[in-house]
Amino acid sequence: MGAQLIDGKAAAARLRADVAEAAAMLPRKPGLAVVLVGDDAASQVYVASKEKAAAKAGFEGRVHRLPADSSQNAVEEVVRSLGADDAVDGILVQLPLPKGLNEDAVIACIPTEKDVDGLTAASAGQLVLGGEGLVPCTPQGSMLLIRDELPDLSGKTAVVVGRSILVGKPLALLLLEKNATVTVAHSRTKDLGAVCREADVLCVAVGRPELVTKDMIKPGAIVIDVGINRVERGGESKLVGDVAFDEAKEVAGAITPVPGGVGPMTIACLLRNTVVASARRQGVAVPEVVAD
């Protein structure tokens, strides 16, 4: 019969509507500041999308654009000034930064309570401890899609392929928090196919086009493909995931497409984090429509 398609666009639209409703409940509009250094074309597109989404959700948003030759001190000073601004609830530094800039040092300037991308060491620590830190957007979006398909993960086997600090590691922690039995696979894993075939929930985030094929998927498994890779085929450029979608959908129970799966949820979760951060900073309860 083929897998159920997990529609990330529709899920993101529902979440954005909830975020807008939550924002309207707060005493003041949530404030989101984006720092964009340089003129990287892809970053410009991503930031424009975030700016548009924030405005549509009823946020006070502003993009702080800095030239590519900005010094480390100049970039850090902008981030620190936003950290001290009471009207700013969330700070997002668009990555990657131009060569020569220390990304870790810039991210470290973001106050934990405004870290809407969940990238600081303090946010990572809160995730490990099960605290109230802001969860990285892509893993959070992945979990929301999984929850729609399988509300109770207790006793389920989950495999995360990829151990990056941006996706793999936080996603594994989130799955553990929901009582799944979790295995993290990576480039040194022996017999990756055998490991993947144990998964009731298989999440792939390695940046290798169509690494996971149908013979690596347990029949009926939920497959979350976080990868997005541009490949040339037949003289045309095409976006594909880390999972060979056309063959995987014959085996999986449910699967995210690329594009249109996890990607749309990332921006929606950025907005969700911002409204949560704003509620906490304004000293009011997080509106139920966006509470976990």
Domain at 136-264: CATH architecture: 3-Layer(aba) Sandwich (3.40)
Instruction: For residue 4, indicate whether it is catalytic.
Output: no
Mean pLDDT, rounded, for 141-145: 98
Is the pLDDT confidence value at 268 over 70?
yes
Tens of pLDDT, residues 56-95: 999 999 999 999 999 999 999 999 999 999 999 999 999 9
Question: Which residue numbers belong to the known binding site for NADP(+)?
Answer: 162-164, 228
Distance CA 159, CA 216 (A): 12
pLDDT band for position 233 (50/70/90)? confident
CATH superfamily, with its number, for domain 26-121+265-280? Leucine Dehydrogenase, chain A, domain 1 (3.40.50.10860)
pLDDT band for position 123 (50/70/90)? very high
Kindly state the tokens that stand for 119: 């990238």
> For a pLDDT cut of 70, what percent of the chain falls above it?
100
Helices (H), the chain: 8-25, 41-56, 72-83, 103-107, 121-129, 137-149, 168-177, 192-196, 245-248, 262-281
Q: Are 200 and 221 in contact (CB under 8 A)?
A: yes
Helix, strand, or coil (residue 62): strand
Residue 1 is predicted with a pLDDT of: 58
Q: Where are the domain boundaries for CATH 3.40.50.720 in the chain?
A: 136-264
Determine which one of 18, 117, 225, 242 is catalytic: 117
> For a pLDDT cut of 90, what percent of the chain falls above it?
95
Distance CA 128, CA 126 (A): 5
Is the pLDDT confidence value at 266 over 80?
yes
Tens of pLDDT, residues 204-228: 999 999 999 999 999 999 999 999 9
Question: Which residue numbers belong to the known binding site?
Answer: 162-164, 228
Determine which one of 18, 89, 94, 126 is catalytic: 94
Neighbours of 125 (CB within 10 A): 12
Determine which one of 50, 114, 218, 249 is catalytic: 50
Is the pLDDT confidence value at 51 over 80?
yes
Q: What is the CA radius of gyration of the chain?
A: 19
Is the pLDDT confidence value at 234 over 90?
no
Residue 235 is predicted with a pLDDT of: 83
Crossing angle of the two packed helices 168-177 and 121-129, in degrees rounded to 10? 30
Q: Where are the domain boundaries for CATH 3.40.50.10860 in the chain?
A: 26-121+265-280
Q: What's the mean per-residue pLDDT of the chain?
A: 96
Tens of pLDDT, residues 91-122: 999 999 999 999 999 999 999 999 999 999 99
Instruction: For residue 117, indicate whether it is catalytic.
Output: yes
Q: Is the pTM of this model over 0.75?
A: yes
Is the pLDDT confidence value at 193 over 70?
yes
